Structure formats: structure tokens, C-alpha cells
Amino acid sequence: MSPRLRRWLLHPRLSLAVRIALGLVFIAAALPKIGDPPGFAKAIWAYQLVPGKVLNPMALVLPWLELVCGLALCLGVWIRAALTWVALLLLAFSLALTLNLARNHPVDCGCFGGTTHRTDAERLTDMRWLLLRDVGLLLLAAQILLATHPRKN
């Protein structure tokens, strides 16, 4: 990578914009789920990956973790810690989508709360786009991580 491109990609202003955008995505994803934990539990159950005992605690804590990390990113506090969770969550979401795509099991994302009734083919197509979106968000997280000085945050 040329030093010029590198400097441009890791520019503090770009990093600030990316950080706020990523934070807002996580806040927007968290709020509807915090408002309706049973709906989110149902969405997680549809993925058929989580044991019944873990389902409810996960549906209760995960949206709050998204909100806390989203706020931290937007406010610029504890950025690296928030990014650790954001990256882990995005990896987990991608893995869940990949596993269900691999076994041809259509699921609604549940990412931003409520779901609409769609056909299985539409769901499978959406899942591919969602996977791409998660990879994009992971790249944003990587940008912030590389552009943020470890000692400061």
C-alpha cells in the first residue's frame, strides 16, 4: 500500500466519521430489540444455533451490549474495548448467517428488531446481502482500530 493511500485511509477525520457511523448502526440495531426482548428471543431461536437455556439471557443482554458499545464509539470513550465487542459480535452474526446459508435454512435477520413475512427464497437472498454488510462493518471496525492510537484509548 502506498504511504499516501495509507495516510488517507487512516486519516483521523475519516476515522472519526467511520467511528460515529458504526456507533450509530449499533445504537439503531439495539433500540428496537431492547424494546421487545421476546421478539428478539424468537428471532435468535429461528437461527437454530443457540441452546434453549442460553436463548433468553442472550436476548436480554446482547441488545444492551450493542447499545453500550455503540454509545462508546459515538462518544469516543473506551474505543478499543467497544471495538473488541463490536468485532466479536459481527463475527458471531456472520458465522450464524453462514451456517444457516450452508444448510439452506432461511431465517429473518432480526438485526433491527421486527420482521416481515417473506418467502424462503427472499430470505436466503437477504442473508447473502446481510453477510456482505457484516463484512463491510467489520472493515469499518478494522479501520478505526488501525487509526486509533492504543495508548490514548
Q: Give residues in contact with another protein (CB under 8 A).
A: 34-39, 41-42, 45-46, 48, 52-53, 55-57, 59-65, 67-69, 72, 78, 80-82, 84-85, 105, 117, 120, 150-151
Alpha-carbon 106 to chain mean position: 19
Q: Report whether 59 contacts 29 (CB < 8 A).
A: no
Residue 36 Cβ, how far from another protein at the closest point, in Å?
Answer: 6
At 152, give phi and psi (nearest 5°): -80, -30
Say how far apart CA 60 and CA 15 lie, in whole Å: 31
Residue 94 Cβ, how far from another protein at the closest point, in Å?
Answer: 20
Which CB atom, from 3 or from 42, has the smaller least distance to another protein? Answer: 42
Alpha-carbon 136 to chain mean position: 10
Which CB atom, from 13 or from 151, has the smaller least distance to another protein? Answer: 151
Residue 56 Cβ, how far from another protein at the closest point, in Å?
Answer: 5
* Residue 63 DSSP SS3: helix
* Residue 23 DSSP SS3: helix
Residue 40 Cβ, how far from another protein at the closest point, in Å?
Answer: 9
Which CB atom, from 36 or from 126, has the smaller least distance to another protein? Answer: 36
Smallest Cα–Cα separation from 84: which of 96, 69, 63?
69
Which CB atom, from 3 or from 51, has the smaller least distance to another protein? Answer: 51
